[in-house]
Amino acid sequence: MRGSAAMKILIVEDEVKTGDYLRQGLREAGFVVDLARDGVDGLHLALDGDYHLIVLDVTLPSLDGWGVLQTLRHSGRETPVLFLTARDQVEDRVRGLELGADDYLVKPFAFSEFLARVRTLLRRGRSQEPEVLRSSNLELDLLRRRVIRSGQRIDLTAKEFALLELLLRRQGEVLPRSLIASQVWDMNFDSDTNVIEVAVRRLRAKVDEPFEPKLIRTVRGMGYVLEALPPARG
Amino acid sequence: MMRAFSLTARLALLFAALTAGVLVLAALLFGRMLDAHFEELDLHELHGKLALVRNAVQQGVPGTGAAEPIRVLENAFVGHDNVGVLVRDVDGRVLRIIHEEHFTPEQRAGAPLAAGRGDWSVEGRPHRGLEVRLALPPRAGGGAPTDAAGVDVLVALDLSHHTHFLASVRKATWAGVALAALVAALLGWFAAHRGLAPLRRVTETARGLSAQQLGQRLGERDAPLEVRDHVEAFNGMLARLEFAFQRLADYSADIAHELRTPISNLMTQTQVALSRPRSAEEYQDILASNLEEYERIARMVSDMLFLAKAEDNRLAHGGEAVDLAREADALIEFYQALADEHEIRIVREGRAVVSGDRLMLRRALSNLISNALRHTPDGGEIGIGIAADAAAVRLVVRNLGDPIPPEQLERIFDRFHRGSSRRDRHGEGAGLGLAITRSIVRAHGGEIAARSSGGATRFEISLPRREAAPDHRP
């Protein structure tokens, strides 16, 4: 996995099944993962270990997520924190963000969504923005706002361009539909239609179908991924 | 303190007080009249006695002076123990007193009665008297001028026998008043108790009600006029409760049904998958298919949570300025790909700003647009109209499509209601979209209505106009 080989993540989660599957999922995505089952253990690990990200459940035995977060921030640790809450309450969100959390997810969530958020947080602060995004023979020029594949110029609408940019920036990652809707169209809720599917299909028809190799792939039940391939020569 | 008394007790007390008040007034008046009557009677009797005295004096033998008439008087008043007579000569000397126990010591000493009449009492016995001057018959052969002048006669009447009578009449009157008040209280209690019976019936019925018997109603016809309003209101409440309970029951059944379908899909699919060994691809396929079902369930649950929150009035909105035209345009852009697929044009006209929660309003409008997309034939058009007048902001989403029958229009905003869709697109929700839209609109103090006529369907949202607050947008 790209650039995540040495990334260390701490999960603090008391729900056994959730903790286990989050750890397994993140490990399989190439991260080094520790799991704490309660707040006190979690805080110890967070203060001792050198983590790149902490995934924190709000409701924990012995010391709740707020307490862990507060103590962590008081001790001067700026480790990014993604907190998980079962209650979709505005106060919860505001409280978490005020205490210094970086992002939150409401249970139940899709693992692909979770993984995408984790990667976003890990990517934060290490941006050397490239001007041209590439995969295989596909090239997207951010400055000139144009897309070239195998030397051929492809005309895209503004939203198609934004969608392709997102896929290219996060090539190799499976992007869930909800993330695409929120990043490209700023729609932060589930639409009860297949609009994302249609948009991807139309993009694919322009960018992928007439060419080889096929780059945009549907991962059933998860979302879409643009294959990360080494740039073609010439 | 008054609060603690029952209505019946209050009415009974009121009856008693009113009766007592009226009777006391009547008794006072009656007493007055009785007094006046007795006074007249007394005067009459006194005048009668006086006539007797005058007669005696004037029948006296001429030349005998005052001595003779007095003797006659004594004879006349034998047996009349309740009458006293006092005779003075013109110089104020007391000549004779008959039945002296009726006079005060001063009178016995010669004090005249002021103004010729008056009341006094001796040893607690009340008296009333008259005083007159009577001329004596002339002396034979002339005489001393002193004798010729006449005498002053004071007649006294002992009143104690009829003051006794009056006192007993008073006593009887007050006792009667008290008794009448008591009887009135009892009758009042009885009348109030009888009169309030319909209310007690309401109470009994209310007490006997449970969720299973909400079909019960109180008889409106036999309720008295004053209680009829209450009975009607009570029955109205029962009807609303029954309706709400029925809907709740339907809702629960709907939830169960909606959950059963994906769960049974999941079970069947998994059982079939496990019935024999399969390739990795097949397992992947099954898991992915399961995932789709799970997502459906998860979305349904979160939509239901949202609705539950709305029902609980917990959809507070921050009151930011929301440009409806901008939101509509963003949504049109979002749905563009889908609309293009079906060659549907979405146009927006007009603009207005309302106060509310941008994300929620966007979601409400999104549901209307996706609903319209589902029901518009290929090549059709969806129009979004935004207009504002002095009172409200109106947002209309209209599309051509099959007419919706009126009975469906009524239920179109109900949870889990699903009209016959023109095309069953992938990922269609569980029929909660329009319910969510309505709850969002209501949380913003607005209303939403659906109309279907002439082959077109219109959803019209009206929201209260944003009060003229300073614009917070940067």
Q: What is the pLDDT of residues A142-187, one digit of tens each?
A: 888 899 999 899 999 988 999 999 999 889 988 988 889 988 888 8
Q: Does the structure show a pLDDT above 70 at A205?
A: yes
**Residue B305 sits at the chain A interface (C-beta within 8 Å):** yes
Q: Is B91 helix (H, G, I), strand (E, B) or coil?
A: coil
CB atoms within 10 A of CB B457: 24
What's the maximum distance between 2 C-alpha atoms anywhere in chain B? 176
Residue recorded with tokens 């995934």: A55
Mean pLDDT taken over chain B: 81
Q: Would you list the DSSP string of B197-235?
A: HHHHHHHHHHHH--GGGTT----STTS-HHHHHHHHHHH
pLDDT band at B468 (very low <50, low <70, confident <90, very high): very low
In a 13 Å sphere around the CA of B165, the CA atoms on its Cβ side amount to: 7
Closest CB to B427: pick one of A90, A187, A194: A194
Tokens of B253: 């059944």
Judged by CB atoms closer than 8 Å, whether chains meet at B284 and A189 is answered as: no
Domain boundaries, chain A: 8-123, 132-226
The number of angstroms, rounded, from the C-alpha of A1 to the middle of its chain's C-alpha atoms is: 14
Cβ atoms A181, B333 nearer than 8 A: no
**Residue B268 sits at the chain A interface (C-beta within 8 Å):** no
Judged by CB atoms closer than 8 Å, whether chains meet at B362 and A197 is answered as: no
For residue A195, give the nearest of B369, B362, B418 by alpha carbon: B369
Sign of CA dihedral B450, B453, B454, B460: negative
pLDDT band at A100 (very low <50, low <70, confident <90, very high): confident
Which residue pairs from A179-186 have beta carbons closer than 8 angstroms and sit at least 24 positions apart in sequence? A179/A112, A179/A113, A179/A116, A179/A223, A180/A223, A180/A224, A181/B334, A184/A159, A185/A159, A185/B330, A185/B333, A185/B334, A186/B330
**Residue A181 sits at the chain B interface (C-beta within 8 Å):** yes
User: Which residues, other chains included, contact B235 with Cβ-Cβ below 8 Å and sequence gap of 6+?
Assistant: B217, B218, B220
Distance, in angstroms, between B329 CA and closest chain A CA?
A: 11
**pLDDT tens for residues B139-178?**
554 444 445 567 788 888 888 888 888 888 889 988 988 8
Cβ atoms A118, A124 nearer than 8 A: no
Q: Is B191 helix (H, G, I), strand (E, B) or coil?
A: helix
Judged by CB atoms closer than 8 Å, whether chains meet at B287 and A88 is answered as: no
Q: Is A60 helix (H, G, I), strand (E, B) or coil?
A: coil
* pLDDT value at residue A154: 93
Domain boundaries, chain B: 2-135+150-167, 225-311, 320-464
Judged by CB atoms closer than 8 Å, whether chains meet at A221 and B292 is answered as: yes
Judged by CB atoms closer than 8 Å, whether chains meet at A198 and B427 is answered as: no
Q: Does the structure show a pLDDT above 70 at A198?
A: yes
Alpha helix positions (H), B60-123 = 67-76, 105-108
Closest CB to B370: pick one of A193, A202, A221: A193
Q: Supply angle C-alpha A54, A59, A62, rounded to 5.
A: 90
**Does B232 or B4 have the greater pLDDT score?**
B232
Q: Is B268 helix (H, G, I), strand (E, B) or coil?
A: helix
What CATH class has A8-123?
alpha beta
| pLDDT > 70 fraction of chain A, expressed in percent and rounded | 93
Residue of A nearest to B281 (CA): A220
Mutate: best of A92, A192, A200, A220, partner B, most B CBs <10 A: A192
**pLDDT tens for residues B43-100?**
898 888 888 888 777 765 555 555 666 777 777 777 778 888 888 877 778 888 888 8
Residues facing B88 on adjacent strands: B94, B152
Residue pairs spanning A and B at CB distance below 8 A: 74
| Chain A residues within 8 A of B433 when measuring between CB atoms | 192
Residue of A nearest to B433 (CA): A192
* pLDDT value at residue B145: 44
* pLDDT value at residue B63: 53
pLDDT band at B473 (very low <50, low <70, confident <90, very high): very low
User: Which residues, other chains included, contact A153 with Cβ-Cβ below 8 Å and sequence gap of 6+?
Assistant: A146, A147
| Chain A residues within 8 A of B290 when measuring between CB atoms | 221
Instruction: For domain A132-226, give the fold.
Output: Arc Repressor Mutant, subunit A (1.10.10)
**Does B213 or B66 have the greater pLDDT score?**
B213
pTM for this one? 0.60
Judged by CB atoms closer than 8 Å, whether chains meet at B284 and A220 is answered as: yes
Judged by CB atoms closer than 8 Å, whether chains meet at B338 and A198 is answered as: yes
Architecture category of domain B2-135+150-167 in CATH: 2-Layer Sandwich (3.30)
Residue A159 CA: distances (Å) to CA of A152, A168, A195: 20, 14, 13
**Residue A185 sits at the chain B interface (C-beta within 8 Å):** yes
Closest CB to B428: pick one of A90, A159, A192: A192
In CATH terms, is domain B225-311 a member of 2.30.30?
no
Query: Given 3.30.565.10, 3.90.1010.10, 3.40.50.360, 3.40.50.620, which CATH number is that of B320-464?
Result: 3.30.565.10
Judged by CB atoms closer than 8 Å, whether chains meet at B366 and A189 is answered as: yes
**pLDDT tens for residues B387-446?**
988 889 999 999 887 777 877 787 788 777 665 544 444 344 567 888 889 989 988 889
Q: Does the structure show a pLDDT above 80 at A82?
A: yes
For residue B354, give the nearest of B388, B315, B398 by alpha carbon: B388
